[in-house]
Structure 1
Amino acid sequence: REHYTAVGDALVWTLKVGLGEVWTPDVADAWTYVYGVIANTMADAGDKVTSDQEVKVSDQEKKFHIKRTWEKIDPMREHATKIFYRDLRETDPKSNAVFEDVDMEAQEKKLADTLGIAVKYLDNLEDLIPVLEDMAVRHLDYGITKEMYYSVGASLLKTLEVGLGDDWTPEVKTSWEWIYK
């Protein structure tokens, strides 16, 4: 939408310069109104197309995609967790302080184990959620903030994308986003 504002400003300026003395406050108001209608209509249509193109995946399909792709990631868990933490530290420098005095090899194993447990309990979310909530409370003591979970999620998705290669599809991405949220 912000691009429409820049285009509108350029159009109005061009008309003002091109029309010279014919450009009056009434003409300016009319062109501003017309361009506003055009821009809003086009932006709304673009938003609708974007939302219509979102991948629709049922919860059962999401669980299937997560389990299937975890089977591919799990054998390379050591490599995947290294990618994850490298990306997290590069994209969220605040996380460096959190992991400063941490045994990263042990931390990488904990991450892979936690993801494995989460995948294992996908069909029993009512038992999984309290475990994850308890873990989140413990992470507060380590200096993890709510904002850091956004970076963690982004790094997780990037790691999965790298690890899965061609198996990283829009449906798989939607599935992992769903379970992370």
Structure 2
Amino acid sequence: MTPHQVHLIRSSFEPLKPLAATVAQSFYAQLFTRDAALRALFRGGDMGEQGARLMQMLAAAIDLLDRPASLTPVLLKLGQRHAGYGVVDAHYASVGAALLDTLSAGLGDAFTPEVREAWTTMYGHVAKTMQQGATEAQAMAA
């Protein structure tokens, strides 16, 4: 990611922070509309708490975007945990699409093609690293 893309992500995420609960609710609505089978992975039932964790994780990842040596281990562990929840590679595409749709709805005209590209790049890196963590966890368990 370029420094400019990091800036775009951080500046576009900032106005969403005070709306975290609404943004998370919108994200999960998008996700379950896209792939209703994913709802079964959320056994805890408290989607408010799940949404808060999602927004906290996003904020933490965004904070570390310019420090890949710190971000990568976090994402690897997150991927390992998600594999344990039953997340498979195919789910990452649904999550990415739901994230982009949520950002588009939340940011409106501020979600320019350049901002979309920055978020797409970031999510691609996050997904790839988490999938790597899941693969490593499966290899260790075998």
- Bucket of the pairwise TM-score, normalised by the shorter protein: 0.7 to 0.9
Residue 125 of structure 1, CA deviation: 1.5
**d(CA) in 1 for partners of 2:72 and 2:97?**
20
Correspondence 1:148-163 to 2 at 5 A? 148-163=91-106
Q: TM-score, normalised by structure 1?
A: 0.66
How do 1:103-142 residues align onto structure 2 when only pairs under 5 Å count? 103-142=46-85
The structure that has the greater radius of gyration is 1
Alignment correspondent of 1:93: 36
Q: Percent identity?
A: 35
Shift of 1:101: 3.5
TM-score normalised to structure 2 length: 0.84
- Regions of 4+ moved over 6 Å: none
For residue 90 of structure 1, report the CA deviation from its aligned partner: 0.8
Describe the SS at the equivalent of 1:123.
Answer: coil
Deviation string for 1:84-123 (max 9, x for gaps)?
0011011012201112443211100000000000111111
* Aligned positions of 1:46-125 closer than 5 A: 59-125=2-68
Aligned residues: 124
Give the counterpart letter for 1:177 in structure 2: T
Structure 1: gaps (5+ residues): 1-57
Partner of 1:164: 107
SS in 2 for 1:86: helix
1:178 partnered with 2:121: yes
Q: Which amino acid aligns with 1:174?
A: E
**How far apart, CA to CA, are the structure 2 residues paired with 1:163 and 1:78?**
12
Alpha-carbon distance in structure 1 between the residues aligned to 2:109 and 2:19: 16
Structure 2 alignment gaps of length 5 or more: 125-142
RMSD: 1.1
Q: Which has the higher contact order (CA 8 A, sep 6+)?
A: 2
